[in-house]
Homo-oligomer: A and B are copies of this chain.
């Protein structure tokens, strides 16, 4: 590994560490754990079944059961049985949940803060590089 690549690896680690810590804090401000906030975020565009959530969060279905139960107990999400398939429960965010999710977003200043440190040209550059690094054409 070259010296540049080495430094880059370290910078990535540091960035991810800071990002994670910031998200944790943001969730906590809204009285949530990071996992709960993440789940709430995934309900942004429409409801999800338990199984879909498990896939998207890449965790066990029984973990989703617990997460959703805790959020439901606080009135942030609702479990709605699917009329077409009574095995399925669709999870949807409640108005209260929307509020709390908003609070998390507002508290999570990290990305926009950091992005704001770059000129628009640099933003485009970074976006291109991240795109390339993520294996998708940009």
Contact = CB atoms under 8 A, between A and B. Distances in A.
Interface of A: 1-2, 4-5, 7-9, 11-16, 18-21, 58, 111-118, 120, 122-127, 129-135, 138
Contacts of A9: 111-112, 115
29 contacts: A2-B120, A4-B120, A4-B127, A5-B116, A5-B123, A8-B111, A8-B126, A8-B127, A9-B112, A11-B131, A12-B19, A12-B111, A12-B115, A13-B111, A14-B134, A15-B16, A15-B130, A16-B16, A20-B20, A114-B133, A115-B133, A117-B135, A117-B138, A118-B132, A118-B133, A122-B129, A125-B125, A126-B133, A129-B129
B120 A133 contact: no
Contacts of A127: 4, 7-8, 11
Given A4-B120, A112-B5, A123-B4, A58 B130 contact: no
A21 B56 CA distance: 12
